[in-house]
Structure formats: C-alpha cells, structure tokens
Amino acid sequence: MMKLVLSVLFSMAILFVQAQGIKKADKKYKRGEYEVAIAKYKGKLNSPKHAGKANFKTAEAYRLSNRLKQAIPYYEAAIKNRYKNPISYYYLAFGYKEIGNYEKAESQLNAFIKASKDDDMIELAQNELDNLVQLSEITASKSYFKVKNLKAINTMHAEYSPVYKNGELYFTSNRLSTKVYKATGTGFTDIYKVKTKGARVDTTTLTKLPEIINDVNANNGSITFSPDGKTMVFAKGNTGKRKGAADVNLYISRFRNNMWSEPRILPISKQNAWDSSPAFSRDGRTIYFASNRKNSKAQGGIDLYSARMSSRGRFSKVKNLGTPINTPGDELFPYVADDGKLYFSSTGHPGFGGLDLFVATRKSGEVFVTNLGQPVNTPSDDFGMFLFKADRGFFTSNRPEGRGDDDIYTFVNEDPNLKTVNYFLHGLTLTHDELDSTLILPNVRVSLVDFNDNVLDEMVTDDGGNFNFRVYENENYILMAEKEGQEKQKYYVTRLDYTTIGRSIPQEELTKLVTNITFDTLMYLEPIIINKSIVLQNIYYDFAKWDIRADAAQELDKLVDILYDNPEISIELSSHTDSVDTESYNQRLSQRRAESAVDYIVSAGIDRNRITAKGYGESYPIARNTNPDGTDNPEGRQKNRRTEFKVTKIDKSTTIKESETDTTDDYFNEDKYFEDDDDSDS
C-alpha cells in the first residue's frame, strides 16, 4: 500500500513539475523570448499530457522568430498528437512552401479549410491556393537576371539590407555581436559600411558605424539615406523595454561637423507597433517604411506606408500604400529606384515561398505588381533590393547555397528592353499685380492629384516659384496650388488640368539606358480682392430665356471648383444684359438668369448661404451698345451680356480642408524633427 501511495505521489510530482515547466515556457513565449521558450518546450515534447501543446508552441516560436523551415517537424508532431488548433495546417503549408514542396503545401491548405471555422482565415488559405496556381506562370516568364553571392563580405552570420551611397556599401550584420537576442538565439545586429566600386568591395575598409548609431543594447536594423547623404533613418529595437516585436522604431540622425548626431525616434513610429525597413524616395521628400500598426486601412500582417515631408519641413501624411501593393500577408523592405518603380518583398503576392521580391510599376494611372522571378526569387526569403545602376544592384537572400544565415547577393539585369524614360513636370507659380504685370509667386503649396482625388505628391515652391514632380506617361493629372503663409493678401486656390497622354517617347526610339524628359507649365494664382468683378467667359443663354445650357454649365463648373477649393469666400453672382427691350424687362431677365446660375451651383453641392444672386439688367454696361452714330454695336452688346462674380466676404475662421491622410507630422529640419505629434491613423 505504501509503495502505491509513493508511486502516486511521485507521478503527481512529475505532473506538477511538467506543468510548471510548461508555464515557465509560456511566460518566456509571451515575452517574445522565443529561443528561451523553445528550449523549455523541447523538454516536454514527449510528455503524454503536453506533447501536442509543446510541439505547437515550439513551432510557433520558430515561426515568430522568422525560422519557419525549422518549425516544420514540430507542426507535424502537433498534428500527429492531435493538437486541436487547425492553424497548424495553415502554417505548416507555408513551411512546406519555403522548402519548395508545393504539393504538400496545397494539401495542408485544403486540410486547414476543411478543419477551420474561421471564415477570414479560410479566405486567406484560399487566396494562397490561388497564389500556388500562378507559380507555373511566374516560372515560365523569361528572366534576364544574373545573380552572384557577394562572398567578400558574407559570413556564416547574417548580412542583409544593402544600401549603396557615395562609393560605400552599408549593410546590417550580427557577425561580431557578443550579446544574444533572446527571440532568435543569435547575436544583436549592427550597421556596417565598406568602400566599394559597384560590386567590387575593398574589405580592408570594413567598419562598424560609430557607437552613437550602433546601440549595444539593441538590434540596429535597416538603414536609408536622404539624397544628399546628410540624413540617416534606420530601424532600432528589441531593447527589452516592451514585449515582443513592438519594440522596433525608426530613428533619425543628421551628419553635422563631420559626425552623426544622437539618433532620435521619429514620431511617425507608433508605440506598440513594429516599424522598420525605411527607404527615402529619390527626391528625399517621401519616406517609405513597413509597419504592423493597426488602423482601418491596414490590409493585414505588415503593410507598406509612406510619409511625406510637409511645407514646414516635417514628415506628414502617413499613408497606407493600399492595394494592389499591400496584401493580407506581409510587405516589407520598400525601395524606390531612380525610374520611380517601387521594389519590395512580400509573402502575400504569388511567390515561390517565404519573402519574394516584387516590383510595382505605374502605367496609365494603374499600378501593376510583378514577381521578379527566378533566379532572384527562391523558396527561401529574398528581400532588400537596392540598385546602384539602372541594370544592377544588391539584394538579400537566405537560400541554402549561401554562406550561412542571410547573405548579400549582387545582380545584373540584361533585359534588352530595360531602357526607361523618366518624366518630370517643372512648373512656375505666378500672379498679377495691380498693373496686370506678371510676378513670381513663391511659397505656394502645389499638389499633384489624380482624377480620383488621390494626392500623389506635393511640395512648396521656392523663392523662384519653382515646383517639380515625377509624372508618368499616358496619365491625366490635376495641379492644385494654394499660397502658404499668413500674408494679408489672399490668393485663390487654383487648379490646372495637365496630361501626359500622347507625349511619351516610343521604346524603339530610346538610345540610352535612362532618358530624362522634363515638361514645363505655368500656374497663375490671382489675388482675392473684395468686390472686384470677374467675368465668367462663355456663359450664354437662349434668347429671352434663363435655362442653363450645356456650354454654360461647363463654365459654371469652373466656378463650382473655385468655391469648393476656396471655402472661406462668399460671392455675389450677377447677370447683365444689353439694352435691347425695356429696362424693367432686362432687370427681371437678368435676375432670373442669376438665380438660375446660383441654383445650378447649389445643385453641385455648394452652400446657398455663400452665394447671392443679383440681376443688374442693362444698368452697368462695360461697352457701348450702339456706336456714336446711333448704329448697332453687336460686339459691345455681346460684352454687356455677361455673367460675373465678385467676392463679398472672406471668412477668416474657415480653414481649407486638409487631406484625411495628413495625420502625422515628423520634424525633418534641424532640431525641430525631435518634437512629437499625434498620428490619428490608429
């Protein structure tokens, strides 16, 4: 009896120890210390009670620390031990995909769809099945890429995120780290640089960036530079201050007095979010980055975002890039090439497995996403592309034939049709003075808008009134111009239609690898002067009638735009006649015509309280109705039959509506960029 009691007590003690072991593993798992958790879970893999959970959690820990291939046998064991969560099938499918076993991946996705009751996840699984179907088409596409391992700098450790600037190659590596990152069991990463001529690396110049950049207590990640090389933005995190991957943010540093300044966090980074892999646009006015922040426009997983520099030198207008770039999967490592194409990596678009490299190209107002194909992409992770010339550059991959973990590769694109044209639009903002002389108008905010009212780019003109935008062939645009500042003189917000349709250069006429074409335009912003009458041209009515004709409606639409773009103004809309018929008749006719015009404008959505209809009949001619000899003057009568408007009031309390995406201001000008501002995109 005593032996039986001791045996029972011993068994209970074992179960208690095992339960405590699982709890300790769970605690490390929740803290994001996946490597530590894995070691603890592995002690319970064969436990009769905990085998299913221990194997599943081990697999999840590998997956969440970006080691999905290593997770495969543990997902398999979790399923074998009848672990109840069907998500094992889903992630096991992606594991099989990363080793190129697409048949097994398809089988596991179908098993997940059959077992799951989560409609959203079932939809994701079905999308991935659709992606697998497209692999044969991607494989069949001809590739002109040649790739080569950059053995001169790669080691058995991780080297990734190459960036080329002024004859130096910057990259991230954990090659010399002495501190272990508990999520992966590998060393913390630092940023390095080495002198290079293209892909010819001088390894004797290899060095780490100074300690002011490389924080010994953090992972120092992907880096980007402004075009002048004087501003650096990079990712840094995993310091242990916050749990899991949320402790990753973007930091900024300026090169002053031959050294980098103390990095400060960019306010576009969000607490409790992973913000990383930054990249400047080619003009330095936009920064792109990846984030898993939660908001109404997030597509799922990690998405790509942009933030534009405002007129005050701040990053503003944080914007989710949306579809077709972002997917329910992960999109990371954006890079904008000199030709305006956006390169990025994704797990959500049709690919070979893991992260694949894609390029987004804008054509005739639409964005098309293309897989770069083999040999750039493999079933492994392929990411972090950077072009140092139009046909060659660097990228990162952890493909099995590499030297260790992530390696940097070089590539050459030998596509015979690679020749490209960059189109730019240069403009001047002008105005007129009291003598109708033309003057330069500086400090004007000009926005490039598509016909779906999406702001594509914007900037403030310099002292010479200059603005410059990248534009694309076969597209229609609207240019919106608004005077910045608080000057006493107000100017009308002005719009101008612009098109590149019919102005592109045929591919067969290109002689150089890259051709730059600049178009020119002028934008006039007229001063708002109270009670100054402005004639609306081509507002015609049928004889003795006041109905709005189609040709008159086109002209009134322009006034609708003025009122919409300038919500602070109220106007009087007046109608005038010539002297044909009686004075009282002309008065009534002009009033009806003015009221008819106002009704049309109100029907277009303008508040009636902002417009007063006034008919003046023949009271205010601007030309003679008859000649001095008493004969009729048709030209004069036509000038007198006119419709005018004049501003009667400027409501200074009314502000022009900002874009709904103008949610975050990030100072990017001297020390001002260290101030914080809210991001309402949460």
Q: Is residue 337 domain-shared with residue 445, that is, in the same domain?
A: no
| Residues 6 or more apart whose Cβ sits within 8 Å of residue 235 | 220, 221, 222, 223, 248, 249, 250, 251, 275, 276, 277, 278
User: Three-class SS of residue 343?
Assistant: strand
DSSP result, 435-469: T--EEE--SEEEEEE-TTS-EEEEEE--TT-EEEE
Do 133 and 151 lie in one domain? The reply is no
> What is residue 674's predicted lDDT score, i.e. its pLDDT?
30
> Both 113 and 259 in a single domain?
no
Instruction: Tell me the per-residue pLDDT of 521-572, one tens digit each, with 9 for 90 and over.
Output: 999 999 988 988 888 877 766 666 777 878 778 889 989 999 999 999 999 9
State residue 410's pLDDT score. Answer: 97
Q: At what angle do helices 34-42 and 2-30 cross, to 10 degrees?
A: 160
Rg (CA), the chain: 33
The answer to whether residues 235 and 353 belong to one domain is: yes
pLDDT at 81 over 60: yes
Whether residues 412 and 429 share a domain: the answer is no
Write the pLDDT tens digit of every residue in 328-362. Answer: 999 999 999 999 999 999 999 999 999 999 999 99
Residues 200, 338 within the same domain? yes
Residue 52: inside a domain, yes or no? yes
Q: What is the DSSP letter of 508?
A: G
Q: What is the pLDDT of residues 462-488, one digit of tens each?
A: 999 999 999 999 999 999 999 976 667
State which of 524, 546, 562 marks the end of a domain: 524
Predicted local distance difference test score (pLDDT) of residue 656: 42
> What is the extent of the structural domain holding 582?
534-650
Mean pLDDT of 368-394: 96
The DSSP line for 21-65 is HHHHHHHHHHTT-HHHHHHHHHTTTT-TTTHHHHHHHHHHHHHHT
**Statement: residue 429 has pLDDT above 90:** yes
Report yes or no on 573 lying in a domain.
Answer: yes
Checking 256-262 for CB contacts under 8 A at 24+ apart, the result is 259/210, 259/212, 260/209, 260/210, 260/212, 260/213, 260/232, 261/212, 262/212
Average pLDDT score, the chain: 87
Give yes or no for residue 221 having a pLDDT over 60: yes
CATH number at residue 115: 1.25.40.10
pLDDT tens column, 110-122: 999 999 999 999 9
Last residue of a domain, one of 360, 390, 418: 418
- Tally of structural domains, the chain: 4
Asked if pLDDT for residue 17 goes beyond 70, the answer is no
Q: Give the pLDDT confidence of 258-316 residue by residue, as tens digits.
A: 999 999 999 899 888 999 999 999 999 999 999 999 887 888 889 999 998 876 767 87
Together in a domain, 445 and 351: no
pLDDT band at 676 (very low <50, low <70, confident <90, very high): very low
How far is it, in rounded angstroms, from Cα 190 to Cα 161? Answer: 11
Pair (354, 452) in one structural domain: no
* pLDDT for res 277: 97
300 and 267, same structural domain? yes
Tell me: do 216 and 117 sit in the same domain.
no
Q: Retrieve residue 521's tokens.
A: 């335009």
3-state secondary structure of 124: helix
What CATH number did the domain enclosing 630 receive?
3.30.1330.60
* Domain annotation covers residue 491: yes
pLDDT over threshold 80, residue 74:
yes
Determine which of 85-99, 297-311, 422-436 has the lowest per-residue pLDDT on average. Answer: 297-311
Position 425 in a domain: yes
DSSP label at 285?
Answer: S
d(CA 484, CA 579): 45
Answer yes or no: do 409 and 424 share one domain: no
The answer to whether residue 681 sits within a structural domain is: no
> Is the pLDDT score of 620 beyond 90?
no
User: Which CATH number is 499's domain given?
Assistant: 2.60.40.10
Tell me if 6 is assigned to some domain: no
Tens-digit pLDDT profile for residues 358-379: 999 998 889 999 999 999 999 9
Q: Tell me the whole-structure pTM to 2 decimals.
A: 0.83
Residue 76 placed within a domain: yes
Q: What is the CATH number of the domain that holds 240?
A: 2.120.10.30
Are 329 and 248 members of one domain? yes
Helix axis angle, 87-98 relative to 102-115, nearest 10°? 170
Tens digit of each residue's pLDDT (9 = 90 or more) over 484-496? 766 678 899 999 9
**Reported confidence tier of residue 461, pLDDT bands at 50, 70, 90:** very high
Predicted pLDDT at 535: 82
Q: What pLDDT sits at residue 638?
A: 79
Q: Are 656 and 490 in contact (CB under 8 A)?
A: no
Q: How confident is the model at residue 660 (pLDDT cuts 50, 70, 90)?
A: very low
pLDDT at residue number 358: 98
DSSP letters, 613-681, are EEEEETSS-SS-SB-TTS-B-HHHHHHHS-EEEEEEEE-TT--PPPPTT----EE-SGGGGGS----TT
Residue 465 domain flag? yes
pLDDT at position 540 is 65
Instruction: Report yes or no: 258 and 245 within 8 Å, Cβ to Cβ.
Output: no
Return the bridge partners of 573, or none: 613, 645
Task: Report the share of the chain in percent with pLDDT over 90.
Answer: 65
pLDDT of 435 strictly over 90:
no
Q: Tell me which of 376, 397, 418 is where a domain ends.
A: 418
From 512, 145, 146, 160, select the one nearest 339 (Cα to Cα).
512
So what's the pLDDT on residue 107? 97
> Could you tell me if residue 7 is left (phi over 0), alpha (psi between -120 and 50 degrees) or otherwise beta?
alpha
C-alpha to C-alpha distance for 361 and 332, rounded to whole angstroms: 17
Q: Is the per-residue pLDDT at 246 higher than 70? A: no
